[in-house]
Structure 1
Amino acid sequence: MDELLTPRILLRRWQDDDLDAFAEITAQPEVMRWIRDGRVLDRAGAAERLDAYRRHWAEHGFGLYALVVRQTGELAGFTGLAVPTFLPEILPAVEIGWRLGRRHWGQGLATEAARAVVDHARDGLGLDRLVSIHQVGNDASARVMIKIGMHLERETTEPSGGRAVRVYAMDLGVTDRLARGSG
């Protein structure tokens, strides 16, 4: 599915004119603090990430959506699905993740968008399970994971950078649907 809508958000595929706004987000030290080694990206680095996101869509049929605030049309960041190849010990898996520009924090946008992506993963893609991974210390992401119904599965070390990470998980199968009263 190319688009998902919530009351406040449009989740859509990436467009060429998203680069400048995305580069602004990835240049914010507060935003990038918990991403990989914590370094910000310049415009060329942001363009490489967008190209990687598009390749992921082409290869897997799902990916990270551009998160647009419907009221303003502003690109706030992303939310979506990816295969977490950086953590081979949990593969095969599909990860739900998000990244928002600093000015969009604390408004519930990540949670709202993540819930829409969870529904699409289950109902649109037929996935039975999702994981989400955060560096230890990134409590804001952990709170979103818990709000969308995930539970802590394990703590481990990300092999390429040696950073401590926590893996959260949720089952999307029949038992989950029955527990939510929609099965």
Structure 2
Amino acid sequence: MDKKYEFESDRLGFRLWSDEDSVLFSRMNADNKVMQYFPSVLNKKESDKFIEKIMDHFKEYGYGLWAVDIKETHEFIGFIGFYTATFESDFTPCVEIGWRLDDRFWNKGYATEGAIKCLDYGFNILGLNNIFSFTSKINKPSINVMKKIGLIEQGTFLHSNISEDNPLRPHVLYKIDKKTYDKNH
């Protein structure tokens, strides 16, 4: 079955979400390993609600967190893309690049490959000027991806949507602007 991709990298296809994604995405969001750097796992209803939010974001902004497949096998592996962060902070609202992959697909370079392609798409197709990314300070795998794709550390902050006693509250902030991106690519 061929799927229609909005854009592609060497190994990955980026597309809008389909009904078939719900079961696999729900399984991912219920996995403690996948969700270890988030405040909690999501149940099926919460996971489906998240897909609705993603689709609403596409309708409002024309971009979002794309469902990602391995092109060769058409396997859904998670999402990579953009989301408009609006929680209370001195750098919001902003466009955030993010990813969440099923742990079966970790350590294969997919997050880095997909995020690099999304940066290109964001700056050169969508016309974005700044792209941010952030995660808890203890999320070393995502911080490594941020560094690999050329984002520059901006500092730290306490995430306003995470409780004060939660070890995930201290966050690190990364950013890249169009000028820096163009210079490096």
1:145 counterpart = 2:146: yes
Once the two structures are overlaid, the 10-residue window that deviates more, 94-103 or 40-49, is: 40-49
1:28 counterpart = 2:34: no
Out of 6, 9, 17, the position equivalent to 1:6 is 9
The CA deviation at 1:87 is 4.4
How high is the TM-score relative to the length of structure 2? 0.91
Letter of the structure 1 residue corresponding to residue 175 of structure 2: A
In 2: Cα distance, 1:87 partner to 1:67 partner: 29
1:96-123 CA distances to partner (integer Å, 9 max, x unpaired)?
Answer: 0000011110000000000110001000
Question: Greater helix percent: which structure?
Answer: 1
What residue ranges of structure 1 are gaps of 5+ in the alignment?
Answer: none
- Report the equivalent of 2:181: 176
In 2: Cα distance, 1:156 partner to 1:14 partner: 32
In 1: Cα distance, 2:181 partner to 2:112 partner: 18
Percent identity, aligned pairs only? Answer: 32
In 2: Cα distance, 1:57 partner to 1:88 partner: 23
Mark the CA change 1:87 to 1:77 in structure 2 (over 3 Å): closer, same or farther. farther
The CA deviation at 1:92 is 3.2
In 2: Cα distance, 1:6 partner to 1:17 partner: 22
* 3-state SS in 2 of match to 1:111: helix
- Report the equivalent of 1:156: 157
- Report the equivalent of 1:122: 123
In 2: Cα distance, 1:176 partner to 1:49 partner: 30
Count of residue pairs brought into register by the alignment: 176
- Report the equivalent of 2:173: 167
In 1: Cα distance, 2:93 partner to 2:55 partner: 20
How high is the TM-score relative to the length of structure 1? 0.92
1:107-165 CA distances to partner (integer Å, 9 max, x unpaired)?
Answer: 00000000110001000011111000111100000000000000110100001214011
1:76-105 CA distances to partner (integer Å, 9 max, x unpaired)?
Answer: 110000111124321231000000011110
What residue ranges of structure 2 are gaps of 5+ in the alignment?
Answer: none
* 3-state SS in 1 of match to 2:13: strand
- Report the equivalent of 1:79: 80
In 2: Cα distance, 1:73 partner to 1:115 partner: 20
RMSD in angstroms over aligned alpha carbons?
Answer: 1.3
Contact 2:132 2:173 in 1 (8 A): yes
* 3-state SS in 1 of match to 2:181: helix
1:134 counterpart = 2:130: no
